[in-house]
Amino acid sequence: MVRLLTLAAAAAALPLTAAAQVAAPGVPVPEGTLLDVVAEGEASRVPDIATIRAGVVTQAPTAAAALAANATQMKSVLAALKAAGVAERDVQTATISLNPQYRYAENQPPVITGYQASNSVAVKFRDIARSGSILDALVKQGANQIDGPNLSIDQLEAAQDEARTDAVKRARARADLYARALGMRVERLVSLSEALDGGGPGPVPVMMARMEAKDSTQVVPGEQRVGVTIRVRFLLK
Number of structural domains in the chain: 2
Q: Are residues 159 and 179 in the same domain?
A: yes
Q: Are residues 220 and 232 in the same domain?
A: yes
State residue 26's pLDDT score. Answer: 54
Task: State which of 119, 152, 185 marks the end of a domain.
Answer: 152
Q: Are residues 59 and 128 in the same domain?
A: yes
Residue 228 is part of a domain; what is its CATH number?
3.30.110.170
Q: Are residues 17 and 55 in the same domain?
A: no
Annotate the chain with three-state secondary structure.
Answer: CEEEEEHHHHHHHCCHHHHHHHCCCCCCCCCCEEEEEEEEEEEEECCCEEEEEEEEEEEECCHHHHHHHHHHHHHHHHHHHHHCCCCHHHEEEEEEEEEEEEECCCCCCCEEEEEEEEEEEEEEECCHHHHHHHHHHHHHCCCCEEEEEEEECCCHHHHHHHHHHHHHHHHHHHHHHHHHHCCCCEEEEEEEEEEECCCCECCCCEEECCCCCCCCCEEECCCEEEEEEEEEEEEEC
Task: State which of 125, 152, 179 marks the end of a domain.
Answer: 152
Q: Are residues 103 and 75 in the same domain?
A: yes
State residue 109's pLDDT score. Answer: 92
Q: Are residues 210 and 229 in the same domain?
A: yes
Q: Are residues 53 and 81 in the same domain?
A: yes
Q: Are residues 69 and 90 in the same domain?
A: yes
Q: Are residues 200 and 222 in the same domain?
A: yes
Residue range(s) defining the domain that contains residue 119: 49-152
Residue 65 is part of a domain; what is its CATH number?
3.30.70.2970
Task: State which of 152, 175, 191 marks the end of a domain.
Answer: 152
Each of the 237 residues of the chain gets a pLDDT tens digit; together they read: 555 544 444 433 333 333 333 344 555 656 889 999 999 999 999 999 999 999 999 999 999 999 999 999 999 999 999 999 999 999 999 999 999 999 999 989 999 999 999 999 999 999 998 888 899 999 999 999 999 889 999 989 999 999 999 999 999 999 999 999 999 999 999 999 998 665 444 443 444 333 344 567 888 888 999 999 999 999 999
Q: Are residues 112 and 197 in the same domain?
A: no
Q: Are residues 42 and 16 in the same domain?
A: yes
